[in-house]
Amino acid sequence: MTAPAPDASAPDLENVVMAARHVAKSYGAVKALKGVNFDIHRGQVTTLFGENGAGKSTLMKILSGVIQPSSGEIIFEGQPVTLQSTIDAQALGISIIHQELSLAPNLNVRDNIFLGREISGPSGVDFAEEDRQTRRLMAELQEDIDPRTPVEHLRLGQQQLVEIARALSVNSRVLIMDEPTSALSASEVDVLFKVIRDLTARGVSIVYISHHLEEALQITDHAVVLRDGAMTAYAPRADIDLEWIVRHMVGKNFNLGSPPTGHTMGSAALSIRELTVVDSHSGQNVVDGLSLDVASGEVVCIYGLMGAGRTELMECVAGRLRPASGHVLLHGRPVDGLTIAQRIRAGLALVPEDRQRDGLVQTMSVGRNLSLASISDFTRGFLTQLSAERRIITRTIKDVTVKTDGPDAAIGSLSGGNQQKVVIGKMLATGPSVLLLDEPSRGIDIGAKAEVFGLLADRAKTGLAVLFSTSEVSECLSIAHRIIVMRRGRIVAEFTHDATKEQIMAASGESLVA
């Protein structure tokens, strides 16, 4: 049952700067939004919760002029407005930070921030002024990045901060943040929250969307929950807690599972020996003499702050980065000289951190994305055995429970959680004995997280060795038999499943947020 419209219960209606009234959006027979009412409060943070596919991003695209509603109206400062484009929205002071990064990797930080609205000087673009403003913006975010650094040379978390800086560079009255912290460390999140509070103190209205529920509770003033395109709940911060959010999001309480039991672990499937990886730009060791074993049937989690070396470790083991020294062994046999494709065929597969850039081909269908990594299994010469490919695709869709209209559906038509299942399914279709996953739950909701972790636990029972990295402590305490904490490229602690959040965070050098 749809909850009452926010204007029926919000005590400070006079402070609503922008509102959606009975907004609906249909794509053919699919109703993405079903008459949603939504208020944005002046100088406050309104947090929008919901599973992937609940309609959050659709609503935000309507509010920012990216798409237009099928029915309903948008109210801005008490007057109905028509937002035909993002230009119309920006003219009113409405900006959005999209969930998927929209940076130009071949351009530098400065040029990305001012792309399309360059600062003019007497003789053309005033690059010196753009440099100055870029440095100021990055200083606000406490990130020491040279304005002329190519974006492609930045780690994912830094790229996300550049995206945030670009939005902050516009004097916004309403700033929509769609998953702004999905690749940020806890310390970077703290900085962002300080920036948000500075903005709200100046009267800027924030719409905040995040699947990091506990994190979002720290910043929200008002909470709205969407489910299946309809609003299911609204409450001010004083009336909500984590259980309230989850109950209204998914209709029941949820957890991410527990370590798989009832099977016998085998010998070491993956062995990492004294592995060192050097950053090509700084010359520093990002992985420093690290050794680790993962047994068949074991689930091991690597936790660490941004820059701890988790991603570099995963990419080196998978063959994407070359080590300066050390060895990687698969069932006791070295794989150091093997390419990525050869390691996949040997049984070592990686689910990368950035599914959009490294995990999916946006121009391909769901089915073709699923079969891409195992294509050698059903090709003979230049010919593809279509029936064999179809069987693999159909089986994988069922095994990893991808919600799709069919194998021929566009990959972009899927929610973030289902896209992540496609990336995982693609690698599972290769029949690995060791599966690496770098931030497997990035940008997906709690229900999809539970499904992904349940899938990994089930595969571990069949003998699959699972090594996954995360920056969320709650995920460490889900299905992992062992928790490895990394800091500055080294292993600094190891815990079993009965560890506490405080122990894990303290070992990583992280302080708990009050």
Cβ–Cβ < 8 Å for 272, 292: yes
Give burial (CB, 10 Å; 0-12/13-18/19+) of 398.
exposed
Give the largest Cα separation in the chain, rounded: 73
Percent of the chain surpassing pLDDT 70: 93
Q: How many CA atoms lie within 13 A of 352 on its CB side?
A: 16
Q: Distance between CA 441 and CA 204 in Å, rounded? A: 30
Tokens describing residue 251: 């209709």
Cβ–Cβ < 8 Å for 139, 85: no
Q: Distance between CA 41 and CA 195 in Å, rounded? A: 18
Q: Is pLDDT of 384 > 90?
A: no
pLDDT category, 116, cuts 50, 70, 90?
confident
Tens-digit pLDDT profile for residues 266-300 = 999 999 999 999 988 778 899 999 999 999 999 99
Q: Distance between CA 439 and CA 155 in Å, rounded? A: 14
Tens-digit pLDDT profile for residues 65-107 = 999 999 999 999 999 999 999 899 989 999 888 767 788 989 9
Residue 303's DSSP bridge partners are: 470, 485
Terminal C-alpha separation, the chain:
35
pLDDT category, 514, cuts 50, 70, 90?
very low
Cβ–Cβ < 8 Å for 226, 56: yes
Q: Distance between CA 73 and CA 380 in Å, rounded? A: 56
Cβ–Cβ < 8 Å for 222, 10: yes
pLDDT category, 511, cuts 50, 70, 90?
very low
Q: Where are the domains of the chain?
A: 6-93+171-250, 104-170, 267-347+433-514, 363-431
Q: Which of 164-173, 182-191, 259-268, 388-397 has the lowest mean pLDDT?
A: 182-191
Architecture category of domain 6-93+171-250 in CATH: 3-Layer(aba) Sandwich (3.40)
pLDDT category, 367, cuts 50, 70, 90?
confident
Same CATH fold assignment for domains 6-93+171-250 and 267-347+433-514 = yes
Q: Distance between CA 130 and CA 194 in Å, rounded? A: 24
Tokens describing residue 195: 């920036």
Tens-digit pLDDT profile for residues 128-138 = 999 999 999 99
Q: Which CATH number fits domain 267-347+433-514: 3.40.50.720, 3.20.20.80, 3.40.640.10, 3.40.50.300?
A: 3.40.50.300
